[in-house]
Amino acid sequence: MDKKSAWIYCRIDAPEDIHGVLKGQYERLETYAAQMGFAVVGSSQDLGSGLHFDHPGLQTVLEAAKAGSFHILLVDSVSRIGRDMAKTMNFIQTISNCGISIYSPMEGEIKLSDLAMLLFQLR
């Protein structure tokens, strides 16, 4: 496998996507994947609060990760995974344990160690 397989995950904090924000997120990530040489093999999206982690799209990401369906998770920013730092770090740990790296066009590779350091600095 030459290209690393990537999964695109998008989320907005709204009950519906009336302004096409999800489509914009997806297109940005699709372009980023092409620039990075990643092959997009799947995607999922959610609407709603980043404080909850029971979103169907996020669950789809976890199931695909555990099945070994992809190597790279692409998100617009770490806040698209979630807004609860502890739950977000837990999700990233779970994904990392599956051998998956997380990338964002704005933040580059998102590593748990970087988030832990940020959290430590914020305290």
Q: Cβ neighbours of residue 14 under 8 Å, at least 6 residues apart?
A: 21, 47, 48
Cβ contact 72:4 at 8 Å: yes
Question: pLDDT tens across 64-79, in order?
Answer: 999 999 999 999 999 9
Q: How confident is the model at residue 1 (pLDDT cuts 50, 70, 90)?
A: very low
> 54-83 b/e with 16+ CB inside 10 Å = b?
ebebbebbeebbeeebbbbbbbbebebbbe
Reported as a pLDDT band with limits 50, 70 and 90, residue 98 is: very high
28-66: pLDDT as tens digits: 999 999 999 999 999 999 999 999 999 999 999 999 999
pLDDT > 90: percent of the chain = 85
**Domains of the chain as residue ranges with CATH:** 5-121 (3.40.50.1390)
pLDDT of residue 115: 77
